[in-house]
Structure formats: C-alpha cells, structure tokens
C-alpha cells in the first residue's frame, strides 16, 4: 500500500520514518515534506492547502492511506475533501477539528460534559473582559479563541499584563479573526503533560504520556515556542492520574463530540496540568503534537499503518510500547521564536542505534543541509531510563555546542531526572 503524509515539519518526518518501517507499505509520499524527509519518502511539491492537488495526487498514485499532520488544513476541511473523493484518510473532519480551532467551543464542551478544566468566561467586548479580569485578579490566563500559531496565550502574572492582553486581542486585532473572541481563564498550577490518543468516534486508544518544554530557554525562561524538547513516558505521573486522564477526560470528550454530531476520528491530543485536584485540561489539539510525536512513536512497537487502518475500521489496534524512555532535544535557529537567519549550514550529526535525527526546518543546498526554519532538527535517543536517553541525546548534540547560528536547551528532562533520583533516595 502507498501512504501519503501531509505536512513539512518534524512530526511529519517521524511519521514517514515510522511508515517506512512497515512491511505492508510500498511507497511513502510526503506533501510537501522537507529535505530530511526526502531520504525516506518521495516529496511532492504540493502545499498542504492545495486540496484539489492533493486529492488528485492520492487518486493517481494509488494512495491507500493519507495522514494529515498540521492543524490548518484539518480546520480548512482537507479530511472532508478526501472523504468526498472516497479516499481513506486518517484525521478529523472540519467539524471535529473545531475542538482545536475554537478555544471557546472546547471550553463550552468541557463545561457541558463536566470534563475537568480551568474555570473561564468568553468575551468579544473588551470592557466586559477587563471587568471580569479585575474581578478575578492575577495570575490569570488570556487566550485568543482561534489558531494563532502557538502565540495566542498570555499567562499574565499581573493585572496590567492581563488587561493589555485583552485589549491587544479584542481591540487592536492582534491575531485578526482568531482574536475577535477571547477566553479568560483561571490560572492552574502544576506539572504539564501531553496525552495523545488514537480515536474513532467514542473509541479511544491512548498512547504514552509525554512532556514537552515550551519555553525557549533553560529553566523554563523566555518566550513560548512550538516546543524545544520532549520525553516519554512521563514516569513522574502516577498511574491514577494517567487512568483519570483517559477515563475522565479523553473518553468523555470523545463521547461528547459524538453526541454533538462532531464525531472525531484521528489523533486527539490533550494538553493537561496535574493540579492538586488531579489532571485538568489546558487545551485540546486535533492532531499529533510536535515534538511529542518524535519521542512517542519510536517507542511504538507496532506497525503504525496497521494501527491506523484498524482504528479507521472500528477495530481495537494492537498497541505495544517498548520498555525504556525516549527523549529528544530541538536545535533551533538563533533568534527563534523571533526573527532568525536561514540558509546556515548544519554540522554533521552522528547517532548510535538507539539515536535518531528528525528534520523540521532544513533544505538541501550544494550538497549539504542548511537551515530553513526556526526549529531545525530534533535529535533524540531511546534509553533504559530518562537519564540514559538524555545522556545519549546530549552526546549527539556536541557538534552544535559552539555554533553561534543555533541553540538548544541544555535542561530538557533534567528536573524530571532529579525528581526521579530523589524519589529513589527516599525509598
Ligand atoms: P496553549 O497554547 O493553550 O497550549 O497554552 C500555552 C501554554 O500556556 C501552556 O503550555 C501552559 O504552559 C500555559 N497555560 C495555558 N493555559 C493555562 C492555565 N489555565 N493555567 C496555567 N497555564 C496555562
Ligand atoms: N507540542 C504542542 C503542540 O503540538 O501543540
């Protein structure tokens, strides 16, 4: 069978790597893909938004399964276009992707179906929003309703910061249509983790929990990014929290989507905070997380094509996870998430059998890889435990150590290693 992955980032590179391992896969295509992906896939020069082009390609090339990586084409109805053409596709329809596309919709759904999340109110009027913010006080969180490329959330430590965030979004149109409406929500304190699941209607098959690191710099300092590194599974998470997240969050929300006539098929991603009252939802995404996917998929022992076909057929997929831990650290262009230079040559990277390199923003020029995006690579490794996975990963990062064109966080997973170690000391 031929498969097609839509997207151009690290998440999609991981997907094509996994598909390329499958014995039942003939050709792997990526649209548009990236320089790294072209090592394992045939990259097609068709953009994620060219629905007619993608449908025609899938028909002509005998594609038996298409997987959509990013949120924008999902929200624009790419899955609907494939379904109308009777092409097998793994991902939510436009109606179902709204769980990511509108924070207000997601909050209403959670409130109505009693799914644990932060208390909130939604506003389109700036005065009303500011009155609510003053009544509640800081810290408080202000979110643009729609997609804002990961920049639409302000965790305000002061009242002034929250008031001006509301003004920027509602009055000054900071994110255009995406901030015509905002959600103002209670600040939740606790450890964050991500839980992704294969979903078809009310059937939910969870993956391992993962931890992303969203801030640009060590010690969780600096601006929010798309994610600077991740590891899985999150061993600090106790079993009852994991079970709670599956039973009281993912399963009820999948059932709620069915009840609302927005039955969800694809990957449902819950961004969660483990509060003193148990896990609560920060956000839902309608797709694989990036960089979580890059550290979760290497631990999956099953054929991912078979898993997705089973889920689409309404069957329970086999999900077997290897022992051990997988970690990954993002190499970013200096300046990211602000302005950065492109076209910088990348040094050679060596990894051992447990290690891997995932390309996010690279191009191939004059016989070498150069940078072409903010997040450039993710370098990762499996290990028997988190400390070993991280040691191997950081070994492979040495070529980037003194490169002024690139930077990476030196502390991915570190606080979790030390808390695991201190648990061991106590026991
Ligand atoms: P999001 O784009 O919704 O993932 O939010 C970006 C980041 O803002 C999250 O990863 C959290 O660190 C933080 N955040 C969002 N909502 C809350 C909340 N209610 N309480 C505390 N932190 C939050
Ligand atoms: N890692 C967060 C996301 O994919 O949205």
Q: Which of 105, 116, 141 to mutate to test the pocket of ligand 1 (most atoms within 8 A of CB)?
A: 141
Residue 23 lies in a domain: yes
**Does a structural domain hold residue 84?**
yes
Q: Give domain status of residue 419, yes or no.
A: no
Confidence of residue 238 (pLDDT cuts 50, 70, 90): confident
Judge whether 29 and 67 are in contact, CB under 8 Å: no
Over the chain, what is the mean pLDDT?
94
| 138 in the same domain as 77 | no
Q: Between vectors from CA 62 to CA 57 and to CA 64, what angle results, nearest 5°?
A: 105
pLDDT class of 421 with cuts at 50, 70, 90: very low
DSSP state of 300: B
The reply to whether 47 and 89 lie within a common domain is yes
Tokens 């076909």 found at: 309
Helix (H) or strand (E) holding 425: helix 414-426
> Ligand 1 in contact with 167 (CB < 6 A)?
no
pLDDT higher than 80, residue 162: yes
CB atoms within 10 A of CB 52: 10
147 part of a folded domain:
yes
Q: State whether 25 and 86 are in the same domain.
A: yes
Average pLDDT over residues 138-145: 94
CA-closest candidate to residue 396, choices 408, 379, 383, 411: 379
Find the ligand nearest to 10 CA: 2
Nearest in space to 100 (alpha carbons), one of 260, 354, 285: 285
The percentage of the chain sitting over the pLDDT mark of 70, rounded to a whole number, equals: 98
Range in 79-83, 120-124, 269-273 the model is least confident about: 120-124
The span from the CA of 274 to the CA of 281, in Å, is 9
Distance, CA of 392 to CA of 217 (rounded, Å) = 21
The residues with which 42 forms a beta bridge, in sequence order, are: 29
**Residue carrying the six token digits 């051990």:** 324
Same domain assignment for residues 80 and 131: no
User: What does each C-alpha distance from 27 to 3, 16, 242 come to in angstroms?
Assistant: 6, 10, 37
Pocket perturbation via mutation, ligand 2, pick of 97, 195, 285, 286 by most ligand atoms within 8 A of CB: 285
* Structure tokens belonging to residue 71: 């949120």
Examine the domain organization and report whether 21 and 84 are in the same domain.
yes
Does residue 161 sit within a domain? yes
Range of the domain at 129: 125-180
Cα of 357 vs centre of ligand 1, distance in Å, is 28
- Domain at 143, CATH number: 3.30.1490.20
pLDDT surpassing 70 at residue 418: no
- Residue labelled with tokens 């059932």: 255
Q: Residue 156 is encoded by which pair of tokens?
A: 């305000």
- List, for residues 277-313, the tens digit of each pLDDT value: 999 999 999 999 999 999 999 999 999 999 999 999 9
The answer, yes or no, to whether any atom of ligand 1 lies below 6 A from the CB of 106, is no
Q: How far apart are CA 412 and CA 228, in angstroms?
A: 8
Domain count, the chain: 2
Residues 10 and 71 in one domain: yes
Average pLDDT over residues 38-63: 97
Q: CATH number of the domain that 46 lies in? A: 3.40.50.20
In a domain, 8, yes or no: yes
Over residues 29-56, mean pLDDT:
97
Backbone angles phi, psi at 209, to 5 degrees: -70, 145
Question: Rounded mean pLDDT of 366-393?
Answer: 97
Co-location of 86 and 7 in the same domain: yes
Instruction: Please indicate, yes or no, if residue 396 is contained in any of the structural domains.
Output: no
CA atoms within 13 A on the CB side of 81: 20
Q: Which of 106, 118, 148, 153 to mutate to test the pocket of ligand 1 (most atoms within 8 A of CB)?
A: 153
Residue 335 in any domain: the answer is: no
């Amino acid at each position: 069978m031929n498969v097609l992955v839509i997207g151009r980032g690290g998440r999609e590179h991981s997907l094509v790597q996994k598909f390329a391992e499958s014995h039942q896969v003939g050709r792997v295509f990526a649209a548009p893909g990236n320089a790294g992906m072209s090592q394992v896939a045939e990259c097609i020069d068709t953009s994620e938004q060219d629905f007619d082009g993608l449908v025609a390609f899938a028909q002509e090339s005998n594609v038996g399964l298409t997987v959509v990586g990013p949120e924008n084409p999902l929200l624009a109805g790419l899955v609907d276009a494939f379904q109308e053409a009777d092409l097998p596709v793994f991902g939510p329809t436009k109606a179902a992707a709204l769980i990511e596309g509108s924070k207000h919709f997601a909050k209403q759904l959670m409130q109505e179906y009693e799914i644990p999340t932060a208390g909130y109110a939604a506003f389109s009027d700036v005065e009303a929003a500011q009155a609510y913010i003053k009544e509640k006080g800081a810290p408080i969180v202000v979110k643009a309703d729609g997609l804002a490329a990961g920049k639409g959330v302000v965790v305000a430590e002061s009242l002034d910061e929250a008031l001006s965030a509301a003004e920027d979004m509602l009055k000054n149109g900071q994110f255009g249509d995406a901030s015509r409406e905002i959600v103002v929500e209670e600040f939740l304190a606790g450890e964050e983790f991500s839980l992704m699941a294969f979903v078809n209607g009310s059937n939910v098959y969870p993956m391992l929990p993962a931890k992303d690191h969203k801030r640009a710099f060590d010690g969780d300092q600096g601006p929010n990014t798309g994610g600077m590194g991740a590891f899985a599974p999150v061993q600090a998470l106790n079993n009852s929290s994991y079970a709670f997240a599956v039973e009281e969050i993912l399963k009820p929300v999948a059932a709620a989507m069915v009840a609302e006539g927005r039955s969800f098929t694809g990957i449902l991603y819950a961004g969660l905070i483990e509060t003193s009252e148990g896990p609560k939802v920060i956000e839902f995404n309608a797709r694989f997380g990036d960089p979580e996917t890059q550290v979760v998929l290497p631990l999956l022992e099953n054929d991912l094509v078979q898993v997705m076909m089973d889920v689409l057929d309404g069957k329970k997929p086999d999900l077997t996870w290897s022992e051990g831990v997988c970690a990954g650290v993002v190499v970013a262009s200096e300046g990211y998430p602000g302005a950065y230079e492109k076209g910088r040559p990348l040094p050679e990277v060596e990894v051992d059998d447990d290690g891997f390199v995932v390309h996010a923003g690279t191009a191939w020029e004059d016989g070498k890889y150069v940078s072409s995006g903010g997040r450039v690579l993710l370098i990762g490794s499996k290990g028997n435990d988190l400390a070993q996975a991280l040691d191997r990963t950081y070994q492979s990062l040495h070529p980037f150590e003194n490169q002024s064109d690139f930077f990476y966080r030196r502390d991915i997973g570190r606080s979790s290693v030390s808390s695991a170690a201190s648990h061991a000391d106590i026991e």
